[in-house]
Amino acid sequence: NAGVMQNPRHLVRRRGQEARLRCSPMKGHSHVYWYRQLPEEGLKFMVYLQKENIIDESGMPKERFSAEFPKEGPSILRIQQVVRGDSAAYFCASSPISSGGLQYQETQYFGPGTRLLVL
Amino acid sequence: RKEVEQDPGPFNVPEGATVAFNCTYSNSASQSFFWYRQDCRKEPKLLMSVYSSGNEDGRFTAQLNRASQYISLLIRDSKLSDSATYLCVVILAGGTSYGKLTFGQGTILTVHP
């Protein structure tokens, strides 16, 4: 059973370009979460998606960032007009059901991350 | 005040030592608690969930004190392979919090021969 897959693993962009980060959840998982880890900082929640729905995007910057999880294919985190401050590791996690709302806890499994460097 | 606070360390201990990490959280509505470990330039991996009654997994013991909003992790008989950053993680209850993990800054542990 393949784990969470993310690609690319490393991405270099110049300021003003677009970055597209992909995440394929584990088989059978329909919930996807994106987190960002800035250099020397902890992981911060960005967005929580189910198939074709954004459930919680409270951690997403208001501009330039968007996320989707289409019916078919991977989840995409898109950053338009990247700036140097976007340089970070972006991790995707998946779970079969929401980890917060039930009597038992469902683990979130993390992908290896995409390291974005903006020049 | 940060939602989850940890002593960043670093903790440098010899093999075989016992080491304890502490964590406090600010929101009393926090529902679920975990310890993750993160190796350098790798993804976080779940180490263990933390239950109100306390729980143990081999050399690792986790404790939760809801009244003090305090979580701890004890590692006995440290191994070189325990060297990593240990992340304290909480989930708020219900509403739109769903599975949103809130991470502490992490505590760096280095175990030396």
Cβ-Cβ contacts under 8 Å, A45 against chain B:
100-102
Is B66 touching A (CB cutoff 8 A)? no
B42 interfacial to chain A (CB closer than 8 Å): yes
Query: What is the tens place of the pLDDT at every residue in A57-93?
Result: 999 999 999 999 999 999 999 999 999 999 999 999 9
What is the per-residue pLDDT for A97? 67
Mean per-residue pLDDT for A5-11? Answer: 97
Mark the ranges of chain B whose per-residue pLDDT is less than 70. Answer: 93-98
pLDDT, chain A, mean:
90
Question: Is A100 in contact with B91 (Cβ distance < 8 A)?
Answer: yes
pLDDT > 80? residue A101: no
Cβ separation A100–B92 shorter than 8 A: yes
pLDDT at A102 over 50: no
| Res A100 pLDDT > 80 | no
What is the residue type of A84? R
For position B16, what pLDDT does the model report?
A: 97
Give me the DSSP letters along A34-95.
EEEE-TTS-EEEEEEEETTEEEE-TTS-SSSEEEE--SSS-EEEEE-S--GGG-EEEEEEEE
At A115, list the tokens.
């390291």
Residue A103 pLDDT > 50:
no
pLDDT at B100: 83
Q: B101 vs A111: CB contact, 8 Å cut-off?
A: no
Q: What is the average per-residue pLDDT within A10-24?
A: 98
Instruction: Say what the pLDDT of residue A40 is.
Output: 79
> Which CB contacts under 8 angstroms, 24+ apart, belong to B41-49?
B41/A89, B41/A115, B42/A112, B42/A113, B43/A91, B43/A110, B43/A111, B43/A112, B43/A113, B44/A43, B44/A91, B44/A110, B44/B87, B44/B103, B45/A110, B46/A107, B46/A108, B47/B73, B47/B86, B49/A105
In this prediction, residue A106 carries a pLDDT of: 63
Mutate to test the interface with B, among A21, A105, A106, A116 (most CBs of B within 10 A): A105
A39 close contact with B: CB closer than 8 A: no
Q: Does B40 touch chain A (CB under 8 A)?
A: no
Among B64, B101, B105, the strongest candidate for a mutation testing the A interface, having the largest count of A CBs within 10 A, is B101
Instruction: Measure CB to CB from residue B93 to each of A35, A100, A105 and give the nearest one.
Output: A100
